[in-house]
Structure 1
Amino acid sequence: MPNTPLLSLTLALWLCALDAKAQVKPLSGMAGQGKETSVAVDINARGQVVGVIEDEDGRQRAVMLDKVLRELGTLGGSDSFSKGINADGVVVGSAQDGAGHWRAFLYRHGEPMRDLGTLGGRSSYGTGVNAAGQAVGFADTAADDFHAFLVGVDGKMVDLGTLGGNISYAAGINARGEVVGTAALVDGYRRAFLYRPGAGMRELGTLGGRSSAASAVNDAGQVVGASEMPDRRWHAFLHDGARMVDLGALIGYGNSYATGINAAGHVVGTILLGEERRSFVYRDGKMLVHQAGKGLYLTNAINDDELVIGATFFSKRYAAATMQSNATPVVPKGSRDFIALMGFVVTMAVGAVLLRRRYRGIELSKGRMLHM
């Protein structure tokens, strides 16, 4: 029997092209019951995951998956959702109180859910928490605007202000207490900001458009988010501390939004192309794009163990899931790349069959000669 490396190559190519969902692992422990949907929103280095389960009536429940699923409860109302978790398992999110108002909360296992208060209004929303337990988000003011806030370890809520406009909201905080988010200018346009303790809020600019928004920051101070372009499309960006790097240009199409970054500077996010949704991972200078249904449908965060989390989408439902950041993108059927790949696969397969037949013919000839 001759060596047939081409058959092995063919098989590998077929597996790469067709075994799409093997890269995405649903979080079965966060599946919910019946027709409930689930989304994973954050994950820490210990593998503890927080997310949201939604029932058929639209009621949302903040949950934490730590080998077993924990329901985090509410502040007296019907709904809650989680947004972040730190290395110690402290969760930040929002929950309704008895009057139906949303309030930012911190949750630690074994302790009651803690209401973080407001900035003078009725509602607040928690979005991020760092290793020290400092929390950020946005809250209503007495003037009925909403402003970004920082709650320190002393429990006091500090108004981070704006960039001259009426509103702002914080999205993330790192170990150094640096906060990122979005704030309005005097003219009403919104810009990504970086807030440093003692230095205040600094605008990060745009990629040529009118607006931008920041969504996450790592401990090195690298910021990710999205910026409007001159043509009014949106591109994901990475701000390295000195300049805004256009990640959307590496994708080359659609509207893209960066949603998470880890300590290594690896960035994850989402691409919208018409009605289609794709996910991306930017790592080691390379852009990996996962087609709809082949990677995560919603991409929310990435941890330092290179696990990307979010949700898949099937049977008209979201399901919390993870994938590795270095997962190989799967080429979609119908694309030029897929057609070219399949053409190559077919060529190799046919070539391998013909080669095998040739060797088989030689062996038969040798057999006949030996028996003559």
Structure 2
Amino acid sequence: MRVHGNGRWNTSVAWRLPCLLLALAMGGSALAGPAGAPVLDDGKHGPAPAGYRVVNLGSGDLSALPKINAKGQVAFSLWDGAASHGYFFDGERVRDIGTLGGSDTVALGLNDAGQVAGGSFTAAGGERAFVWSAGGGMLDLGVLPGAGNSRAQAINRHGVVTGYAEGVPSTPPLAFRWSRTDGMTSLGALAPDAGGASFGAALNDAGLIAGAADTASFDRHAFAWTATRGLADIDTLGSSFSDVVAVGARGEVAGSRVPAGNALLYRAFLWTPGGGMRDLGAAGAAESFALAMSPGARIAGLVNLAGGDQRAMTWTRAEGMRVLGTFGGANSRAIQANDRGQVVGYATDRTQDFRAFLWSARSGLVDLNTRLRQAPPGLVLDDALAINDDGAIVASSNAGLVLLTPGAGAADGHVVGPVVAPDVVPAGTAFAATVAWVDPGRVGTRGVRWSWGDGSGVQAGRVREGGSEAGVGSARASHHFARPGVYRVAATVLDSKGRGTTVSHTVVAAAAGAGTVAAKGSVLSPRGAWRKAPAWVGKAGFSLVAPVAGTVPAAQSAQSATVPAQLRFDLPGLRFYSASLRFLGRQGAQRVFEGEGTINGAGSYRARLATTLGLAGAAPGRFALKIWQSGAAPGNEVVHYDNSGTLPGAVAAPLVDARIVTE
């Protein structure tokens, strides 16, 4: 966790946050494969598959990036509007893996045996590292002596786990290793006498663990741990900051670093036991970030261009760094790679829409939307998030998280598309919602259940099957919201065997004539905005209902005080919610709001939003959001997110799209 104040890494503040807020959602560990020779891309693995079968995994906001193993099993976490749930797809069905008695679970690691690792809350409110399996359920891994919380970040094929444990507020986080035979043991720290923190992030099957730890000079350096050598500082380049995203099968460690004296100038690195840390450069760009690495040491990530745009990149020993381009738009990002030379991520097109891609040296950049077989009507893939060596891909879409399986096999059940409904509606006014699906296995449809998120109960929808295409069905329902607010509309399609597939859509209900602005849309979250993951660039969604007293007649201004203000802002691993947004007034061509809220359902944070939403003729569209905590001393605030462009390395966040009702 980075706190930018005096130019040092302020770990004395950062480690006091709950474990749920400290996961490196952008990184995660690459699943370690067999310890044999790595398979590097030689351009001979053939073109991209001709088609993918789609499997619905779940609908909601991502709490962390998903993981996929060699068997095509998937571990993922979704926020349903009330809590974060961890799930496991076993190849046939999705299981909710439960909790340790509390409200939230986040799945962060997965191995080929189908074991899931992560963090789950207990009934007492603390978070504990866990390992889950279908046969054994969820096992609490405990904590280190003196700690109260723990979280698992990665698990290898032998069931060995790494992560960190901490005591809030007095004990700094310490990296740990856990196994069934040894239990949880501390990996130590680089500066134990100075209270330095350490975080376990990734490991391989040979037992090498890597992460980051504070030094005696208050920098943060990448480390490697082995049973024989213990914890060792591997930053041989003398960086002011270095962090780890993955460990390779042969002991390679990949991550990103900030060279000493270069402020926020990042470079991807690769460390090897024999060669030390190697700066991978930036292929002529201003910066580079490593976001993932395959077991065979193919790196996926991005480069920052001088003008602020980003491009996906991949790196191998044989070819060096290669920039992958876009579909005609301004940005792209690679997030995962496999050992067949395939890389996945997102790229924007000429209209700046996000499209999920697959890249290989032979096929180049391929829009995965063009390779779907028997896809439901309206389905759009906007980002590819994980890939295994068989080419199975986990992607996000307008119908939630989906699995793409290469080949032409038919699904056993429904494949459901997005809920089609207005994004913003006036409260008290009826609106229609529809959902469509395909039934490749011809199992038949039992019915569709609608849930509106306002406590009104479940409603049956009118089902229509057949139509112009065999196996295609749809359902329609109507509803009205009695009060303004932000609501999750969900449709569950039931097949003849009673199995349900749920998709959802957020609808913002606006107050009629009450002096409010209601909006839903997305912004391009720029590099540097999210302090915990400065490399993150991607689409962040928002929903907003807020009074704008003082911009309307007095009678309406008084009425607006009764309108419940809500702001939801979501990107994977950061979910901010405020129900106390207050309108401060106009600042130039923007409206300014302030309020308090939570991140990932916990803590107490302040937020300030300056936006052109709802202002006629305001251009360009802008959504400048800052989220922070007040420090122990005046002026010592801890900033967690800031896309306003006022801080080094950040640029103002443009609106990607927005639907607005202003009264």
- Code of the residue aligned with 1:132 in structure 2: it is A
Q: Which residue of 2 aligns with 1:112?
A: 183
1:88 to 2:158 alignment: yes
- Code of the residue aligned with 1:45 in structure 2: it is D
Q: Which moved more, 1:237-246 or 1:29-38?
A: 29-38
Give the drift of 1:126: 0.8
In the aligned structure 2, how far is the partner of 1:57 from the partner of 1:294? 41
**Does the Cα contact within 8 Å between 2:298 and 2:338 map onto a contact in 1?**
no
Higher helix share: 1
- Code of the residue aligned with 1:246 in structure 2: it is V
In the aligned structure 2, how far is the partner of 1:74 from the partner of 1:311? 34
Q: Are the structure 2 counterparts of residues 86 and 308 from structure 1 closer, same or farther at C-alpha, using a change threshold of 3 Å? A: farther
Write out per-residue CA displacement over residues 9-31 of structure 1, whole angstroms, 9 at most, x where no aligned residue: xxxxxxx9xx9862557423424
What's the TM-score once normalised by structure 1's chain length?
0.68
In the aligned structure 1, how far is the partner of 2:182 from the partner of 2:395? 27
Describe how 1:103-182 pairs up with structure 2 within 5 A.
Answer: 103-120=174-191, 121-161=195-235, 163-182=237-256
Q: Are the structure 2 counterparts of residues 88 and 141 from structure 1 closer, same or farther at C-alpha, using a change threshold of 3 Å? A: same
Q: Which residue of 1 aligns with 2:280?
A: 204
- Code of the residue aligned with 1:113 in structure 2: it is M
Q: Secondary structure at the match of 2:240?
A: strand
Q: Which residue of 1 aligns with 2:143?
A: 74
Q: Which moved more, 1:133-142 or 1:57-66?
A: 57-66
Q: Which residue of 2 aligns with 1:363?
A: none
Describe how 1:350-365 pairs up with structure 2 within 5 A.
Answer: none
In the aligned structure 1, how far is the partner of 2:126 from the partner of 2:279? 37
Q: Which residue of 1 aligns with 2:6?
A: none
Number of residue pairs matched by the alignment:
314
Give the drift of 1:141: 0.8
**Does the Cα contact within 8 Å between 1:163 and 1:184 map onto a contact in 2?**
no
Give the drift of 1:42: 2.6
1:232 to 2:308 alignment: yes
In the aligned structure 1, how far is the partner of 2:267 from the partner of 2:294? 19
Q: Secondary structure at the match of 2:340?
A: coil
In the aligned structure 2, how far is the partner of 1:198 from the partner of 1:111? 29
Give the drift of 1:124: 0.3
Give the drift of 1:161: 1.6
- Code of the residue aligned with 1:107 in structure 2: it is W
Give the drift of 1:272: 9.4
- Code of the residue aligned with 1:201 in structure 2: it is M
1:32 to 2:99 alignment: yes
Q: Secondary structure at the match of 2:224?
A: strand
Give the drift of 1:109: 2.3
**Does the Cα contact within 8 Å between 1:51 and 1:81 map onto a contact in 2?**
yes
Q: Are the structure 2 counterparts of residues 351 and 134 from structure 1 closer, same or farther at C-alpha, using a change threshold of 3 Å? A: closer
Q: Are the structure 2 counterparts of residues 161 and 53 from structure 1 closer, same or farther at C-alpha, using a change threshold of 3 Å? A: same
Q: Which residue of 1 aligns with 2:267?
A: 191
Q: Which residue of 1 aligns with 2:321?
A: 244
CA RMSD of aligned residues (A): 4.4
Give the drift of 1:45: 2.0
Q: Are the structure 2 counterparts of residues 61 and 88 from structure 1 closer, same or farther at C-alpha, using a change threshold of 3 Å? A: same
**Does the Cα contact within 8 Å between 1:20 and 1:294 map onto a contact in 2?**
no
- Code of the residue aligned with 1:171 in structure 2: it is V
Q: Secondary structure at the match of 1:45?
A: coil
Q: Are the structure 2 counterparts of residues 37 and 288 from structure 1 closer, same or farther at C-alpha, using a change threshold of 3 Å? A: farther
- Code of the residue aligned with 2:334 in structure 1: it is A
Give the drift of 1:160: 1.0
Give the drift of 1:171: 1.9
Give the drift of 1:234: 2.6
1:45 to 2:122 alignment: no
Pick one of 298, 301, 309 that aligns with 1:222: 298
- Code of the residue aligned with 2:209 in structure 1: it is A
Describe how 1:282-361 pairs up with structure 2 within 5 A.
Answer: 282=359, 285=363, 287-288=366-367, 299=385, 301-304=386-389, 323-324=403-404, 326=406
Give the drift of 1:263: 3.0
In the aligned structure 2, how far is the partner of 1:202 from the partner of 1:223? 13
Give the drift of 1:36: 3.2
**Does the Cα contact within 8 Å between 1:43 and 1:303 map onto a contact in 2?**
no
In the aligned structure 1, how far is the partner of 2:396 from the partner of 2:98? 11
In the aligned structure 2, how far is the partner of 1:58 from the partner of 1:288? 43
Flag structure 1 segments of 5+ consecutive residues without an equivalent.
Answer: 1-15, 335-348, 353-372
In the aligned structure 2, how far is the partner of 1:107 from the partner of 1:41? 15
**Does the Cα contact within 8 Å between 2:345 and 2:383 map onto a contact in 1?**
no
Q: Secondary structure at the match of 2:56?
A: helix
Q: Which moved more, 1:106-115 or 1:250-259?
A: 250-259
In the aligned structure 1, how far is the partner of 2:222 from the partner of 2:255? 8
Higher normalized contact order (CA 8 Å, seq sep 6+, divided by chain length): 1
**Does the Cα contact within 8 Å between 1:130 and 1:174 map onto a contact in 2?**
yes
In the aligned structure 1, how far is the partner of 2:218 from the partner of 2:469? 72
Give the drift of 1:97: 4.6
In the aligned structure 2, how far is the partner of 1:260 from the partner of 1:172? 11
Q: Are the structure 2 counterparts of residues 310 and 116 from structure 1 closer, same or farther at C-alpha, using a change threshold of 3 Å? A: farther
Give the drift of 1:179: 0.9
In the aligned structure 1, how far is the partner of 2:105 from the partner of 2:395? 9
Give the drift of 1:165: 3.2
**Does the Cα contact within 8 Å between 2:54 and 2:405 map onto a contact in 1?**
no
- Higher CA-based Rg: 1
Q: Which residue of 2 aligns with 1:12?
A: none
Q: Are the structure 2 counterparts of residues 238 and 297 from structure 1 closer, same or farther at C-alpha, using a change threshold of 3 Å? A: closer
Q: Are the structure 2 counterparts of residues 191 and 287 from structure 1 closer, same or farther at C-alpha, using a change threshold of 3 Å? A: same
Q: Secondary structure at the match of 1:122?
A: coil
Q: Secondary structure at the match of 2:171?
A: coil
In the aligned structure 2, how far is the partner of 1:166 from the partner of 1:149? 14
Write out per-residue CA displacement over residues 135-176 of structure 1, whole angstroms, 9 at most, x where no aligned residue: 000101111111100112315111112534312112211121
